[in-house]
Structure 1
Amino acid sequence: MASSVRSFGLAFAALAVCYAASKISQLLWHKFTTPLRNLRGPKNPSVVWGNFKEVNHEDDSVVYERWIKEYGKTFRFHEFLGRYRLFTIDTRAIGHVLNNTQTWIKPDIFRRGPAAAFGEGILFTEGEQHRRQRKIMGPAFATPQLSALNSIFLEKSAELRDVWNSKVAEGHGSAQVDTVTWMAKTTMDIIGLAGFGYHFNSLKEESTPLAEALAKLFPSTQGFRVLPFLANFIPALRWIPNERERITIEARGVMNQIGLELIRESRRAIQAGDSSTGRDLLALLMRANMDKDVPPHLRLSDEELLGQIPTFLVAGHETTATSASWCCYALSLNPDVQTKLREELRGVHTEEPSMDQLNGLPYLDAVVRETMRLYAVVSWTLREAVVDDVIPLDTPILDCSGRMIQEVRVKKGDTVLIPILPLNRADEIWGYDSHQFRPERWFAMAEKSSSIPGVYSGLATFISGPHSCIGWRFAVLELKAILFHLVREFKVDLAVPAEQIGSRSFLVMRPLLKSNNKYELPINITPVA
């Protein structure tokens, strides 16, 4: 019996080695046959890791900007096992890639990990499935629906203001708070109610099963893990048990259980003709999906509906919370901007401004745009060619042989990295002060910014094309509501030296407190008379 077990183990190990060797051979073959090998770019510092460790060692946008200065707008660099990857901030090239979704899709490495946690949400689907989802979901994010949700944004922002005031009272005139923590609590409460009528009560510091599940997916520290990274290239490695995978499966199970209950409740109410059913995104999505004019084959399955709930949580919670934290950071470093914004906000003579009133405040609008430009929370995106393609360039480049070329040829399986932050900070587009937080630039924007493929203000932040962020208007209005209540009430200052604040990307680019290597951004708050 023991010998049989040993034989089986050896056979399995041999099979795994052969499979891994096959995958590695495919990667190496692709490296030596792709046209990208003819492009200039940084040297390969590691046979195994390529340039990955260099990028992961520091803020990736800093590395990318250094490469752009040396190699221009379009070049290639090395990924795992030295395989080539295209890099470009050429706006014509980016527009071509983002708009041709039949040719360019999110690669498995980009979809498998998140999809395991979040299911078949719109962020992780492709092709016809993505088109169906977007068509059904689109009306829920239209302007009239957002206007109805504005009261939730303001209510929870005011609740955060009141919590901070209580902290100030305890601190006898001022208090230190962690913006990452409190913005996350606020946006979680907002997306719970606005997304699917769920009360997280995070600002009351209550705990719910759904909140606990989400916290497991977004730990306060997140380092590089070798096994999950290698599993993106060698799928068989996913069968090896690991703690992160166990936690993800457990959290996903809780999300599924609660999500199905929310879907069933919403469906029962709609079928019963209950017109009082909430105006939350899930209710609107369910109504659109159940509309008699929608053919059955175009409707979303329960599995797809279920996938939207964690997608709402990620897209409507983590991203806006991070943007709000970065905005507090920028306002702390720029007290003149903070004062000017406060003066404008205090000129609004109501505690509950309408969506139109918030959108009609020019300096608030400029501060939000500048935050989303300089601190885009998703710093890059990735696409893979499913067929051979030719990418046109706006700016010609020199290849390795010294030829000037106006297009880049790619092979099926090649990937292109689109760096959002470097594009949002390009001197050529934004001027010599592109790395400075200056909201006034939005009152005299250069025409060059219109060349950036983006749905919002010439920014790459929400990208463009069929996969552009469907909820960008939601995110912008939510951030405005948060700033409306907080900046009117408090003066904010950094509680630590600015050089102690870094950033790290785990789905989103969050502030990192270097002294403890945690996602934190401590500020001092003082009420303003």
Structure 2
Amino acid sequence: MLTPLTLLLSVVVLLVGRGLLWIVNLLVISPLFDPLRKLPGPTAPFFYSHIQRVVDPDFSATQHEEWKKQYGKTFRYHGSGKFDYRLMTFDLRAVSHILMSPIYEKPRVTRTFLSTMLGKGIFTTEGPEHTFQRKIIGPAFTLQSIKTLTPIFLRTAEELRDKWDGIMSNGQENIDVCHWISRATFDAFGMACLTYNFRAIHGETEELYLAFRRMFDLADQKGILRILVPILDKLWPDKIARSVLESRQVIYSTGRKLISEKKSTILAEKGHSKGSNEKDLLSLLIQSNICNNDSAKSLSDPDLLDQISSFFFAGSDTTAMSLTWCLHFLALHPDIQMRLREELSHPTTLRLGSSQSSSEERAYDVLDSFPLLDSVVRETLRLAPPVHGTLRVATQNDLIPVSEPVILTDGTVVSPGEYIKIRKGSIIHIPIEGLNFAKDIWSEDTLEFRPNRWNSLPPAAQPPNFPGLANLMTFSFGPSSCPGYRFTITEMKAFLSTILPQYTFSIPEGQTIGKRNGLFTRPFVKGKSKMGVQLPLVVKRMDECKPL
């Protein structure tokens, strides 16, 4: 008869044995049968990882091109170690297949991590649920919807301009544009998504703003162990986990009130011939629900809040980073800054955000009519994509087509039109930055800020050769492409058209800016990394630049 101690020892031995088998399989057996093992790629010691070379901006901009020269456009690198083969490809035929196929999904670890903060929004779901959510939110990001929101962007930009005027001494100031732009885009998103004024430009005190801001800032501070094992946040919540939970409670508490109020308003206006006047994202989602009598095809109130949290996270911060990098590039290139200012310094532009503006549609069309503005925005999004790269996992064995030859390690050539094998569970790295920097697509000067390239794009950067949304991999393409790309581009144009005619931007003496990759690519001052995310610029009023 087994004693309790004997039984316990048996269980321990069994668990240890299973653990050892799992480790042996992970490190030795499984890699031997991985088709990616046959692909060309960099070699390294057993536990060496190439991840830093792939994601650190100090290396990646040149590392991608070096690997392409050595191994071709499709190769493998080591993830956690030599046993962890990961596919990277610059072959646009292969990239299109991966991003268009339902076989490939964002890694479960990534989705679980994001869902702890954002809930089950469009950026954390896959498959039919993702398709359903995308269909529901689609009307909120049509061209007509963005035209309706354009005056909000312009008015918020005017508030930022007026605030800067108020803090300037002698007509100029060293301003951390990253911090201020982040506050301003949050205000713009608040009005565009919720018709809710955070007033972050005027002071960072509003409770809901602080909850969102705190939660998003903490996302970059999550330790790798808690990202890989998210249940730790529930079993042994640390300070970050507790703060995220508290922030979500504030967001959901306030959000429920907003939803209730908006439902009442929309239902009260439903009988009117003109329908509801509410055009913000939340109102459009509620209207879609009300018009749909099938609850299975509607979003619940918690789902609505998850969508809003997702768009605040993915939209506000990314737009803020893009605008920040844009001002940085313009400060580095005063000639382009001057040309853009001249283009924007038209009387029509200066009246865009005022109450005298004749229509929402006119405001959008005027912004869309400036060719250099459009080129500067697109070149910024190419050169500084907010998201450095994205991962996909194969949910089943697959054959990936290639349009460029791949020479396997045994000498076999996979010719254009043929396929490379990939097995279930394999990780694919889509190098967004790498594709935006690819010399064979954008020419040899790809790392230079040259907006004029958009006047005559190389054939390789034009559809159908280049499938990226808006001619950029920044917004991806296919079922998981960014639905708010027009939102971002229009908001950037609105802010630039408002502040650039009023100010000049230059680099503080002796300052060098670096890039740091977390969830997003953020700036920091080299030599002052402990001060965190920032991008100070010398901002000077134009009237102070004129000769006496």
TM-score normalised by structure 1 residue count:
0.91
| Residue 265 (1) aligns with residue 261 (2) | yes
Q: Equivalent residues in 2 for 1:114-263 (5 A)?
A: 114-168=114-168, 171-219=169-217, 222=220, 225-231=223-229, 239-263=235-259
* Mapped partners of 1:480, 1:97: distance in 2: 32
Task: Give the counterpart of 1:387 among 367, 390, 396.
Answer: 396
| Residue 93 (1) aligns with residue 94 (2) | yes
For residues 70-122 of structure 1, give each alpha carbon's deviation from its aligned partner in whole angstroms, at most 9, with x where no partner exists: 32211111112431110011111000011112x11111122111111101111
Contact 2:147 2:364 in 1 (8 A): yes
For residues 421-453 of structure 1, give each alpha carbon's deviation from its aligned partner in whole angstroms, at most 9, with x where no partner exists: 110111111111111001111111122112222
* Mapped partners of 1:13, 1:214: distance in 2: 44
Moved more, 378-387 or 322-331: 378-387
Moved more, 104-113 or 459-468: 104-113
CA gap 1:364/1:13 in 2 versus in 1, 3 angstroms: farther
Q: Equivalent residues in 2 for 1:332-481 (5 A)?
A: 332-353=331-352, 354-406=363-415, 407-450=419-462, 451-456=465-470, 458-481=471-494
Q: Which runs of 5+ in 1 are unaligned?
A: none
Contact 2:475 2:482 in 1 (8 A): yes
Contact 2:57 2:517 in 1 (8 A): no
For residues 476-517 of structure 1, give each alpha carbon's deviation from its aligned partner in whole angstroms, at most 9, with x where no partner exists: 00000010011111110112545x311112221111223232
CA gap 1:276/1:16 in 2 versus in 1, 3 angstroms: farther
For residues 191-228 of structure 1, give each alpha carbon's deviation from its aligned partner in whole angstroms, at most 9, with x where no partner exists: 00101111110000141222222222233894673422
For residues 228-252 of structure 1, give each alpha carbon's deviation from its aligned partner in whole angstroms, at most 9, with x where no partner exists: 24427xx679744333322222222
Contact 2:331 2:337 in 1 (8 A): yes
TM-score normalised by structure 2 residue count:
0.88
* Mapped partners of 2:259, 2:396: distance in 1: 38
* Mapped partners of 1:418, 1:361: distance in 2: 32
Q: Give the Å deviation of 1:51.
A: 2.1
Contact 2:40 2:76 in 1 (8 A): yes
What residue is the counterpart of 1:31 in the other structure?
Answer: 31
For residues 395-446 of structure 1, give each alpha carbon's deviation from its aligned partner in whole angstroms, at most 9, with x where no partner exists: 1121111222132210011111000111011111111111100111111112
Q: Give the Å deviation of 1:59.
A: 3.7
What residue is the counterpart of 2:357 in the other structure?
Answer: none
CA gap 1:190/1:405 in 2 versus in 1, 3 angstroms: same
For residues 364-412 of structure 1, give each alpha carbon's deviation from its aligned partner in whole angstroms, at most 9, with x where no partner exists: 0010110111111111111111111111111112111122213221001
Contact 2:219 2:519 in 1 (8 A): no
Which amino acid is the alignment partner of residue 523 of structure 1? L
Query: Secondary structure of the residue that 2:421 maps to in structure 1?
Result: strand
Identity of aligned residues (%): 36
Q: Give the Å deviation of 1:301.
A: 2.2
For residues 344-382 of structure 1, give each alpha carbon's deviation from its aligned partner in whole angstroms, at most 9, with x where no partner exists: 000242434310110011110010110111111111111
Q: Which runs of 5+ in 2 are unaligned?
A: 353-362, 544-548
The Cα RMSD (Å) is: 2.7
Which amino acid is the alignment partner of residue 252 of structure 2? N
Query: Secondary structure of the residue that 1:412 maps to in structure 2?
Result: coil
CA gap 1:9/1:435 in 2 versus in 1, 3 angstroms: farther
* Mapped partners of 1:340, 1:100: distance in 2: 43
* Mapped partners of 1:366, 1:263: distance in 2: 39
Contact 2:77 2:86 in 1 (8 A): yes
Which amino acid is the alignment partner of residue 381 of structure 1? T
What residue is the counterpart of 1:316 in the other structure?
Answer: 315
| Residue 302 (1) aligns with residue 315 (2) | no
Moved more, 8-17 or 211-220: 8-17
Query: Secondary structure of the residue that 1:86 maps to in structure 2?
Result: strand
Which amino acid is the alignment partner of residue 89 of structure 1? F
Task: Give the counterpart of 1:521 among 531, 535, 542.
Answer: 535
Q: Number of matched residues?
A: 516
* Mapped partners of 1:386, 1:155: distance in 2: 46
CA gap 1:50/1:167 in 2 versus in 1, 3 angstroms: same
CA gap 1:338/1:53 in 2 versus in 1, 3 angstroms: closer
Q: Give the Å deviation of 1:280.
A: 0.5
* Mapped partners of 1:127, 1:37: distance in 2: 29
Query: Secondary structure of the residue that 1:503 maps to in structure 2?
Result: strand
Contact 1:501 1:512 in 2 (8 A): yes
Query: Secondary structure of the residue that 1:512 maps to in structure 2?
Result: strand
* Mapped partners of 2:193, 2:211: distance in 1: 17
* Mapped partners of 2:13, 2:277: distance in 1: 58
Contact 2:109 2:228 in 1 (8 A): no
| Residue 326 (1) aligns with residue 325 (2) | yes
Which amino acid is the alignment partner of residue 312 of structure 2? L
Contact 2:393 2:425 in 1 (8 A): yes
Q: Give the Å deviation of 1:314.
A: 1.2
Give the structure with higher Rg (CA).
2
CA gap 1:153/1:18 in 2 versus in 1, 3 angstroms: farther
What residue is the counterpart of 1:493 in the other structure?
Answer: 506
CA gap 1:310/1:16 in 2 versus in 1, 3 angstroms: farther
Q: Give the Å deviation of 1:254.
A: 1.9
Query: Secondary structure of the residue that 1:349 maps to in structure 2?
Result: helix
Contact 1:496 1:522 in 2 (8 A): no
CA gap 1:238/1:206 in 2 versus in 1, 3 angstroms: closer
* Mapped partners of 1:505, 1:13: distance in 2: 41
Moved more, 216-225 or 245-254: 216-225
Contact 1:61 1:379 in 2 (8 A): no
CA gap 1:54/1:376 in 2 versus in 1, 3 angstroms: closer
* Mapped partners of 2:49, 2:431: distance in 1: 18
